Amino acid sequence: MKAIWHSLDVSLDQLNEIGRPTMAAYLGMEFTEIGPDYLKMMMPVDHRTIQPYGLLHGGASVALAETIGSMASALIIDQEKQICVGMEINANHVRGVKEGYVHATAKPVHIGSTSHVWDIRITDDQHRLVCISRLTVAVLAKR
């Protein structure tokens, strides 16, 4: 399969370094795999990402989904000429998680010249579906 990425010269270390001064680092998110047409990331379920009932906060799942989808779009565009920004995100939370990690996988639904749409599946450590999200990203000319 042909890779969808603009450049194949990117490492997980580089992706994780980009997130160091951001909310992604604060929440403990970490990129774990780059495939030819997908990106994977994980996030701990801990004091930073739970709600008062001790379950993974839905907003943390959405932050994970937007982070991975936005980075996936950034890897597709020519960053010398373009930027990408989130336009719309939705999420269906289907299972609660109290401990361990959640794992997100972003795959493209649509890669156009002005927008990208990502399907993001979040699972728990036992590979059970936790959240399904769809993110639409706008691709804009760099000013």
Catalytic (active-site) positions: 66
Q: What is the 3-state secondary structure (H, E, C) of the chain?
A: CCCCCCCCCCCHHHHHHHCCCCHHHHCCCEEEEECCCCEEEEEECCCCCECCCCCECHHHHHHHHHHHHHHHHHHHCCCCCEEEEEEEEEEEECCCCCCCEEEEEEEEEEECCCEEEEEEEEECCCCCEEEEEEEEEEEEECC
